[in-house]
Amino acid sequence: MIFLAKAALGLGGTLVLAGAYTFHEGVIRVDVDEFREGGSHVHFWAPAAVVPMAFRLIPKQHMQHVSEQARQFAPVAHTFVRELKKFPDFELVDVRDANEHVQIRTHDGKLQIDVVDSNENVHLLVPLAVLDDISSQLEANLPGA
């Protein structure tokens, strides 16, 4: 019995630590629904902490290539995201017509992009901290950085 209890305690503790680490940056959520025959329906939830970890697993030369491609917008994105974090929730862009509604806003420390269209619905929710991490990684891996 005592052995079982110790094992449960160890397992529980490990799960808690792993869970706390995995979800400490929140969750990335992607929902895509295409309203056509054979259209795709993607509903994807992933712990945000996975992204920076995945970046560290990408071979350096590939990472440098991606950074080079993003050379122009990476510093802008980094500054933009870093500054976005300082503001309360707000609606950045809202475009609406008879068939389409596009909304970009910040909500609870996340960037939320919603596209509601007669052909498809796309909802994207990404923690700003993750975007900050990604843009920092891109900047850091620029050749000569």
Partner 1 sequence: MSSARQSFIGRVALIAATAIVLSPIGALAQTANDKTSSSAATTSTKADRWLHVRVISTDGKGETVRVNVPLELAERVLPAVNHDRLHNGKVKIECAHMDDVDLHALVDAIRSSKDGEYVTVQSSDNDVRVAKQGGYLLVHVLDHGYRGKHGIKDKDEAAEKSAVGKSNEKNEVEVKVPMKVIDALFSAGKDELDLVAALHALSAAGDTELVSVKDRDNTVRVWLDSKNVTD
- The 3-state DSSP class for residue 59 equals coil
Among 29, 32, 34, 80, binds partner 1 (CB under 8 A): 80
Q: According to DSSP H, which parts of 58-143 are helical?
A: 60-69, 74-84, 128-140
Which one of 35-43, 58-66, 97-105, 119-127 is the stretch in contact with partner 1 (CB under 8 A)? 97-105
Nearest alpha-carbon partner for 129 in 21, 55, 25, 24? 25
Residue 134 Cα to chain centre, angstroms: 9
Question: Cα(39)–Cα(49) distance, rounded to whole angstroms?
Answer: 30
Residue 41 or 45: which CB sits closer to partner 1? 45
Q: Of the listed pieces 11-19, 37-45, 61-69, 113-121, which binds partner 1 according to CB under 8 A?
A: 11-19
Q: Is the four-CA dihedral 116, 103, 138, 30 of positive or negative sign?
A: negative
| Tokens encoding 52 | 């920076």
The CB-of-37 to partner 1 minimum distance in angstroms stands at 26
Least Å from the CB of residue 18 to partner 1: 10
Indicate whether 2 belongs to the interface with partner 1 (CB under 8 A). yes
Q: How far is the CB of 124 from partner 1 (least distance, A)?
A: 19
Residue ranges that bind partner 1, judged by CB under 8 A:
1-2, 4-6, 8-9, 11-13, 15-16, 19-20, 23, 72, 75-76, 78-80, 83-84, 86-99, 108-109
